Amino acid sequence: MSDRFLEGRTALVTGATSGIGLAIAQALAAAGARVAVNGLGSQAQVAQALASVQAAGSPEARHFGADLSDTAAVEDMMAQIAAWSPADVLVNCAGVQHAVPIAQMPAATWDRLIAINLSAAFHTMRLAMPGMAERGFGRVVNIASVHGLVASVNKSPYVASKFGLIGLSKVAGLEYAAAGSRESGGITVNCVCPGWVETPLIEPQIVARAEAAGGDRDAGIRELLREKQPSQRMSLPEEIAALVVWLCRKEAHNLTGAAIPVDGGWTAQ
């Protein structure tokens, strides 16, 4: 699937300056898309992300640094992107986490997590999807989580936001299901629900478990995943990105409203 089937189209990826979001931006670039990169980071990190997206094959990549917890900032970003090149592909990947029991969860932290993980996706979707319908083609892929399908303790706002993201995606999938056609590609809205993914964010946990296993990294990963992910293998960001790219193909025109687990059997238990 290395053909540039997204040539002439534009993708917006939030949370795309690192990790899974950056891998998705690079994969969409390799498929030929112009890429609007949203995400935080230093000037150097942003410049490096843009350079990597262009090196992957994007004819043009631009950074939009909107604070996704601010509705007005999201609206301004979407207006800027519409003026540049309206989004045909929207990937909501930005997410934040804070793990403490419900009774200890600060109200402001709850509000911030819901705003970034859920409300920002609502705002990008409501502003991007009418244009997709007019053009007869659109893909929305929301990066939820295994925690949009099952819960874990101490993660109340994260789990609530990811369950909400899946519900929001199902509603949008239904509302736009009849837009476009097989020939144009139609409009689809889906969630990808990763389990453990090998990103820099969890590297300290891997290192700690590996040290406890005598320096054996694979053994450390197996121990980290033992309780919940039966495969005892992590996914790579590029593997999540490959699924996102496939969902953007015209052949996927009838796959909508789905929440696809990539979790090594976690939610099959």
- Given 158, 163, 176, 196, the catalytic residue: 158
pTM: 0.95
pLDDT given at position 2? 61
- 50 with 102, same domain: the answer is yes
Tell me the per-residue pLDDT of 16-59, one tens digit each, with 9 for 90 and over.
999 999 999 999 999 999 999 999 999 999 999 999 999 999 99
Pick from 228, 237, 249, 240: which is nearest to 18 by CA? Answer: 237
Domain membership of residue 244 (yes or no) is yes
- 205 with 153, same domain: the answer is no
Catalytic site residue 176? no
- Print the domain residue range for 18: 10-197+236-262
Strand residue runs (E) in 105-240? 137-143, 186-194
Tell me the C-alpha distance between 94 and 220, whole Å: 27
Percent of the chain with pLDDT over 70: 99
Band (pLDDT 50/70/90 cuts) for residue 180 is very high
- 230 with 178, same domain: the answer is no
Beta bridge partners of 193: 261
Tell me the C-alpha distance between 72 and 74, whole Å: 5
Range scoring the smallest mean pLDDT among 8-22, 109-123, 223-237, 245-259 = 223-237
Domain membership of residue 267 (yes or no) is no
Pick from 269, 242, 261: which is nearest to 147 by CA? Answer: 261
* Residue found under tokens 């687990």: 261
pLDDT given at position 212? 87
Band (pLDDT 50/70/90 cuts) for residue 1 is very low
Range scoring the smallest mean pLDDT among 75-79, 154-158, 207-211, 262-266 = 207-211
